Structure 1
């Protein structure tokens, strides 16, 4: 079973050893050296599994695991030099699927990865359906958006809002409800965050961003995504 694996490890020798053994098993491997880079890489190109060291700069592995668990069910194998029961339980409580203490055998690492991948394949639900709202197409599995047949590049936060609204077209979402979909995607969230994302999305998906016909403001309430079929449902 070959898979795309991200190894987040700041010890270069350990990272290189893990990479070599996993590639020998047939996996494609991306190595990153800190927690922030791990989050960015997982969001940029979601892997089938993350090998995650606990002690890392910028953002430690425990925080990385905590953040990712709010976003996905990505299998996580944690590595740590800590070996107490409390440390192990904390990692598992935060959502790690397995835990290895250093020093470890690279052959055991490969075996643990193989087991986790096999388990995740058995438990994986069908891919999310592609969502279509008028000329807008949102593909959660591929993290892709198109408008009028044209590919649209969205930030993770923009995609999270668009996905939420496309799943329930015509529903009015308050700003507070939309903010709830941004946790884990936007590092700094303020009351203006939703408005900024909406403004940027309109530039990307509206035929005329100055007269939006798809992403509509419902004054005093929030926003909704509509099928712009006849263009009659417009913001004033």
Structure 2
């Protein structure tokens, strides 16, 4: 049992009992304390009145759907929320700022992957607990500086050195807009002359590699006339 998570309370709102039980089993092995609701009626009240540390929320629920619950919760709480969905067409809405979910997982999923996502999100939210110094994690992206590895939703992505440096620079400061000039200085340390078009080309290639099978949220944003950011 991982004592770090022993007192963390996870609320699972999932109407399929088998799926809920698998999540309970895997989370319990890691020391989490779990509560299960099989419909959406009482979810908001439970989050509001109980000391919940994390919410795993199905998109399609009886009586009140996950999108509605997430929006209502965000009116009073920043508790991390991981959405579960079997509807690929809803992914853009899940990850967009529209509802405020922290991440999503598509069904069918690996329970181990869900637990890994829960742990990663909780680590990011704890100011005194950091991911290993040689790793940077943000949403579904993780890069390992020592091993020069990048993973998107637990799948390894093969990046060139320039693409890796670009991603590393932006992941260090999510939400911050980086100008093309600053990115060129990071990527080309030998003072060679490159155009902003070159950076645009690298960003385009990086974005396409991170969008695995078009199922991952596009975290790489272009700010017209300024540069790029990860968010």
TM-score by length of 2: 0.51
Query: Which residue of structure 1 lines up, in the alignment, with residue 109 of structure 2?
Result: 104
Q: 1:123 to 1:70 in 2, by over 3 A?
A: farther
Give 1:46 deviation, angstroms: 2.9
Spell out the pairing of 1:58-137 with structure 2 (5 A cutoff): 58-84=63-89, 87-92=90-95, 93=97, 94-122=99-127
Equivalenced residues, count: 122
Spell out the pairing of 1:50-61 with structure 2 (5 A cutoff): 50-61=55-66
Q: Which of 1 and 2 has greater Rg?
A: 1
Whole-Å Cα distance in 2 between the matches of residues 40 and 14 of structure 1? Answer: 23
1:41-68 CA distance string (max 9 Å, x none): 1122131110000000111000000000
Whole-Å Cα distance in 2 between the matches of residues 70 and 91 of structure 1? Answer: 17
User: Which consecutive unaligned segments of at least 5 residues does structure 2 have?
Assistant: 130-231
Whole-Å Cα distance in 2 between the matches of residues 112 and 90 of structure 1? Answer: 19
Q: Give me the CA root mean square deviation.
A: 1.6
Runs of 4+ in structure 1 over 2 Å off: none
1:125-181 CA distance string (max 9 Å, x none): xxxxxxxxxxxxxxxxxxxxxxxxxxxxxxxxxxxxxxxxxxxxxxxxxxxxxxxxx
User: Which consecutive unaligned segments of at least 5 residues does structure 1 have?
Assistant: 125-236
Give 1:123 deviation, angstroms: 9.1
TM-score by length of 1: 0.50
Whole-Å Cα distance in 2 between the matches of residues 36 and 42 of structure 1? Answer: 12
